[in-house]
Amino acid sequence: MGSGVRVALLYPGQGTQRPGMLHELPDHPAVAATLAEADRILPGSAEQDSAHALTSTVTTQVALCIAGVAATRALAAEGATPDAVAGHSIGAFPAAVAAGALTFAEALAAVHLRAQLMRDTYPSGYGMAAVLGLSVPQVRRLIASTTTDDAPAYLAVIDTDQQVVVAGAIHALERLSTAAAQAGARRVQRLNIAVPSHCPLLGNVADAMAAHLANIPKRPLTAPYLSDSTARLLHDAAAVHDDLARSIARTVRWRDITAVLGELGTTLFIQAPPGHVLARIAQAAHPHARVITLTDTPVTDAAILSARART
């Protein structure tokens, strides 16, 4: 790592899922092998990407984990390995696999448990909403003015200076949406997420995940891992496991991750499937960097670009 981070691999989180996302993965032997392995670990999981299936928090999180690991393995098979990895929310689990902190089987089991705990803790009445066009301090003030003890809301995700996500009770999100529109927000959009992720409401889930991950062996990492809640590089498996557990109850600081990767010298950002959201954030923050997605770029081309970024 003496030469810094040249190639960063980014994994998107819940909200980016789309019907057909697993069937649309790159046509590559490593992808086919990963889907077959997923089906052995969680029978049926490699086929669960219909619009109906993805209404489930559990199915969605599992599918995102599978997609991320499949993309990583396809790149690795072509000789491309990242200098650092970072995952947005559930994307942290395939990132942990890429970093060597978890096996695929361990990641799928942990993701399945995490999603079940989230679903069962808040089966209804809660969700998340994106607020675009207001600053972080503005949104914090709106949250303070609209939340109540019986209908709380929290700042859950900071994607950019003017793109954040709030988590909490539906009634609080409705009040916040009205207040944000009046304050000049460009857009307020309810996300396709039925639980209040990345806030203190999920403290018990974090505790349960910490207990689960404590039983997983601690192995040397093969790549540095960026925490989505602290934006710090982690270099040992114990720290990664703790981050995977605790981040569910902490704010995602993706804006800071994007900044740190730029400071470390990243010249190529590769976003794993599905979609483009993390790529767009990276491109806006670092217009002179090369930013690609494996949704649009063939794996072989991505591997060539990865090799060039290191020269």
Residue 85 counted as domain residue: yes
Check whether 9 has a pLDDT greater than 70. yes
280 and 138 in a common domain: no
Each as own residue / partner, the long-range contacts of residues 234-242 (CB below 8 Å, 24 or more positions apart, any chain) are: 237/100, 237/101, 240/96, 240/99, 240/101, 241/101, 241/210, 241/213, 241/214, 241/216, 242/210, 242/213
Confidence of residue 161 (pLDDT cuts 50, 70, 90): very high
Return the residue matching tokens 């704010």. Answer: 251
Q: Which position has the higher pLDDT, 245 or 192? A: 245
Shared domain for 288 and 207, answered yes or no, is yes
On the question of pLDDT at 3 being above 60, the answer is no
The pLDDT of residue 310 is 86
2 within domain boundaries? no
The pLDDT score that the predictor gives to residue 1 is 39
Domain check: are 95 and 237 in the same one? Answer: yes
**Residue 179 above 70 pLDDT?**
yes
Query: pLDDT digits over 188-201, tens only?
Result: 999 988 899 999 99
172, 190, 208 - which closes a domain = 190
Same domain, 49 and 20: yes
- Model confidence at 20, pLDDT cuts 50, 70, 90, reads very high
CATH of the domain at 143: 3.30.70.250
Do 205 and 180 belong to one domain?
no
Specify the pLDDT at position 253. Answer: 98
46 within a domain of the structure (yes/no): yes
Write the pLDDT tens digit of every residue in 138-153.
999 999 999 999 999 9
Comparing 180 with 194, the larger pLDDT belongs to 180
User: Domain boundary at 135, 160, 190, which?
Assistant: 190
Residue 88 has pLDDT above 60, yes or no: yes
Co-location of 155 and 101 in the same domain: no
Whether residue 183 sits in one domain with residue 51: no
The pLDDT value recorded for residue 2 is 41
Residue 123's pLDDT band (boundaries 50, 70, 90)? confident
Residues 31/25, Cβ–Cβ less than 8 Å: yes
In a domain, 195, yes or no: no
User: Is residue 290, in this structure, part of any structural domain at all?
Assistant: yes
Domain that holds residue 176: 126-190
At 127, is the secondary structure helix, strand, or coil? strand
Q: Average pLDDT, whole number, for the chain? A: 96
Any domain includes 150? yes
Per the domain annotation, does 30 fall within a domain? yes
Instruction: Tell me the C-alpha distance between 94 and 274, whole Å.
Output: 13
42 and 146 in a common domain:
no
Residues 168 and 33 in one domain: no
**What's the CA angle centered on 278, arms 4 and 192, to 5 degrees?**
150
- Identify the CA nearest to 53 among candidates 115, 98, 4: 115
53 and 98 assigned to the same domain: yes
Task: Point out which residues pair with 189 in neighbouring strands.
Answer: 130
> Does residue 210 lie in a domain region?
yes
Which CATH number do you get for residue 24?
3.40.366.10
Distance in angstroms (rounded) separating the CA atoms of residues 198 and 6:
29
pLDDT in tens, 256-287: 999 999 999 999 999 999 999 999 999 999 99
Long-range contacts of 77-81 (CB under 8 A, 24+ apart): 77/28, 77/29, 77/30, 78/299, 78/300, 78/302, 78/303, 79/303, 79/307, 80/7, 80/302, 80/303, 80/306, 80/307, 81/222, 81/223, 81/306
User: Exposed/middle/buried for 232, CB within 10 Å: 0-12, 13-18, 19+?
Assistant: middle
How many independent structural domains does the chain possess?
A: 2
Percent of the chain exceeding pLDDT 70 equals 99
What per-residue confidence (pLDDT) applies to 105?
A: 98
Tell me: do 236 and 268 sit in the same domain: yes
Q: Are residues 149 and 181 in the same domain?
A: yes
